[in-house]
Structure formats: C-alpha cells, structure tokens
Chains A and B, each alone.
Chain A
C-alpha cells in the first residue's frame, strides 16, 4: 500500500491509481478506472475541475462541477472506507473548496493564474528580492501614486470634519460623491481587466508567448491600481457607515 508521502512524489501526469494502477489525469480526485478516491497530488485549481487554465470561465459549469464533486466527496460515502481514504477525502474536499472559492472570484482567479505563470504579485512578494538599483523607484506609476495620494488626502479631510462633529449635508454628499467616483474607477479597471483576460486566453490558446506576456504585464498594472482603489472604497464606505 502506498502511503501519502510516496504518492506526493509520484505526482505529475504519470501518476497511477493506488488501487488499480490505472493511469491518472493530473490532479484527479478519483480514478477514472475503478472510481477510488486518490490522495491529493498537489495539482493546480484548474486541474481539480478538469479545466485548462483560462481567465474566461463558464461559471455555471464551474458551480455544477463543484456540486457534483462535493457530493462525491461527502463523508457519508466514506463511512466504510479505510482510514487513509477517509483522510484523502477530507483533504480533497478542502482542496476542492479552496479551488472553487478562488476560481469563482474574478480577481482571485486572475491573481491565481498570474502566480501560476510565475508573476510575483500579492502580499507575500511585497518589497522582496528587489535589486539594489531599483531602490527608490516604484513599480506603481507616478501619476497613479499622485492621484491616490490626493484622493486619500481629500478623504481624510472629510473624515476629520466628520470627527469634529461636522455632520452637515455637504460633507455627506461629498463622501457619497467620492464613493461613487471610486466605484466608477473600479469598474473602469475591471472592464480593462476583462479585455486582457480575453487577450491572455487567446494568446495561451495559440501559444503566442509575447502576447501572453504583454497581457500578463498589463493585468499586473491593473491589479495594482485595483488594490489602491478598493482600499479607497473600503475607507469611504467605512466613513459613511460611522
């Protein structure tokens, strides 16, 4: 009997079912041959759903697959299974949930796919591994920083006024205005992001690496901007709710 340790070493596409030795698809939850649960193989989230990594996803299909696989992984079905199989079904269940949560969310999916392709984005990469000659420069374009700084200043002024007990209608409407503006800017970013999704998917389909890298680069810049904007939206919404 294979233990979990060994099975993670023998992953990749050439993995075989522990029960019937049939060849397994990458990240397969079950053996296609004998239907037995498989140990988690460390495959990516797209493979869990038997999908190729793409940004434009059929969300209805994703949800349908999620429910189908969730049912197959239900603990009741493993009541009489071996301890190992029970453990695997729990592990696969948690992987399935992570994968679903990540892929159904447009931003999370974009981050995930870009990281899968080697992009160093997300908080765990903040400020890491920066060459000495890039110190004092910023990945964020100067005009975006200026704009974000200015918006933050305006927002702070409004919040200060609020704290000082100024509950005049002007302030309230300024805040509402600001919220509307930030949300509008977010929508603009999302629209551009969706256009890049299509560019990326098409480039991945045709194997055009130059086009794929270009789409990737522009998505990273859009996600940077998106992060600043969502912070502003969060702050303004918080202020309005105070």
Chain B
C-alpha cells in the first residue's frame, strides 16, 4: 500500500518527537494503544497555567508509518492552541490532512485518543473539571 506524500514526510521528519517531564504539574501525558495492530503512542503537552495555551507538545510512537504521521501531525496542530480548542480536533481532520486509507483510519483515532488522554491527565492534575459546561457551573458557584 502506498503512503501519501504527507505521511511519508511526517514519517521521515517526525515533528516534536521527545519527552516532557511527566512529574511536572504543567505537563499532561496520554498513553494509548491499538491492540489490533500492537501500536502504542505517547503524547505529552505542557500547558501555560495562566493562558491555558499548549506551549509544547511531544510524542513517541511505536507503530506503523500512519500512526507515527498521525501523532506527529497531532502535536503540530495542538501546539499554540488553548486546551479546549485542542479538544475540537477530530480524527477525521487527521484522515483528511494525511489522506489515510480506510484500513489506517484507526491510526487517526489513536492520535485523537492520545490528545484527549493527555489533556485529561493535565486536567486531573490541575483539578480542572472535565467539560466546558462543568467549568462554567463551578465558576458560577
């Protein structure tokens, strides 16, 4: 199966590969896996506590080219976004951008999962409520 040029580009020059300090309160870590193919993906974010902007995003993925490209693209997209904006990224956006074939759609799902898991971890660490509505309710009280 031929990979699209964008997948090949991300695979050959993955953006933001690396590790952030898991112990830091500003860092959220998401570790997810697709048992069907044995992929495992770790995505980390460092959030500015003042602005809620994701200032740094790093990933490390063991898996196929599409899984690596999906997570590489995901870190590129969430960097500079606010946490709530990053949650708006859908796996279908990744599918479109990378022209993933149907058999590789699960790689994009894994990347979306990783974003959500990383943000979830950061929220848990910082006592932020899960949804935007919940934030509003807590703020009102």
What residues of chain A have their CB less than 8 Å away from a CB belonging to chain B?
Answer: 121-123, 125-128, 130, 135-140, 142, 144-146, 148-149, 152-153, 156, 223-225, 227-228, 230-231
Q: List 5 A-B contacts (CB under 8 A).
A: A123-B37, A126-B106, A145-B40, A148-B40, A228-B35
Q: Which residues of B lie under 8 Å from residue A156 when comparing CB positions?
A: 62
Contact of B31 among A142, A224, A228 (CB under 8 A): A142
Chain B residue at smallest Cβ distance from A152: B62
B32 proximity list for chain A (CB < 8 A): 136, 138, 140, 145
Chain B residues within an 8 Å CB radius of A138: 32-33, 113, 117
Find A123's partner among B33, B36, B117 (CB 8 Å cutoff). B36
Q: Determine if B46 is an interface residue (Cβ-Cβ < 8 Å).
A: no
Is B88 interfacial (CB 8 A cutoff)?
no
A146 and B34 contact, CB distance less than 8 A: no
Residue of B with least CB distance to A229: B38
**A87 CA to B67 CA, complexed, in Å:** 42
Q: How far is the CB of B41 from chain A (nearest CB, A)?
A: 9
- Contact between chains at B116 and A149 (CB < 8 Å): no
Q: 10 extra interchain contacts, Cβ-Cβ under 8 A, other than A126-B36, A149-B60, A227-B38?
A: A123-B37, A127-B91, A127-B106, A130-B109, A135-B116, A146-B31, A148-B33, A153-B60, A156-B62, A224-B35
B116 touches A227 (CB 8 A): no
Q: How many residues of B contact A (CB 8 A)?
A: 28
Q: How near does chain B come to A156, taking the closest CB pair, in angstroms?
A: 8
* Total residue contacts A-B, CB cutoff 8 A: 77
Residues of A close to B80: CB separation below 8 A: none
Interface residues of B in 106-120 (CB under 8 A from A): 106-110, 112-113, 115-117, 119-120
Q: List, in ascending order, chain B residues with CB within 8 A of A140's CB.
A: 32-33, 35
With A130-B109, A152-B62 given, is the CB distance from A125 to B40 under 8 Å?
no
Contacts of B136 in A (CB 8 A): none
Report B's interface with A, CB cutoff 8 A. 30-38, 40, 42, 60, 62, 91, 103, 105-110, 112-113, 115-117, 119-120
Q: Assuming A135-B112, A135-B113, is B37 touching A126 (CB within 8 A)?
A: yes
Establish whether residues A139 and B110, one from each chain, have CB atoms under 8 Å apart when the complex forms: no
Q: Flag if B113 contacts A126 (CB, 8 Å).
A: no
A228-B41 Cα distance, complex, nearest whole Å: 13
Complex alpha-carbon distance, A138 and B111, angstroms: 12
- Chain B residue, CB-CB nearest to A156: B62
Which of chain B's residues have a CB closer than 8 A to the CB of A145?
31-33, 40
What residues of A have a CB within 8 angstroms of the CB of B62 in the complex? 148-149, 152, 156
- Whether the Cβ atoms of B37 and A227 lie closer than 8 Å is yes
**Top 9 A-B pairs, shortest CB-CB distance:** A136-B116, A127-B106, A224-B35, A127-B109, A126-B106, A231-B38, A126-B36, A152-B62, A140-B33
CB atoms of B110 and A228 under 8 A apart: no
Q: Whole-angstrom distance between the alpha carbons of A8 and B35 in the complex?
A: 35
Q: A residues within 8 A CB of B60?
A: 149, 153
Check if A228 sits within 8 Å of B36, measured CB to CB. no
Residue with the highest number of chain B CB atoms closer than 10 Å, among A127, A130, A139, A152: A127
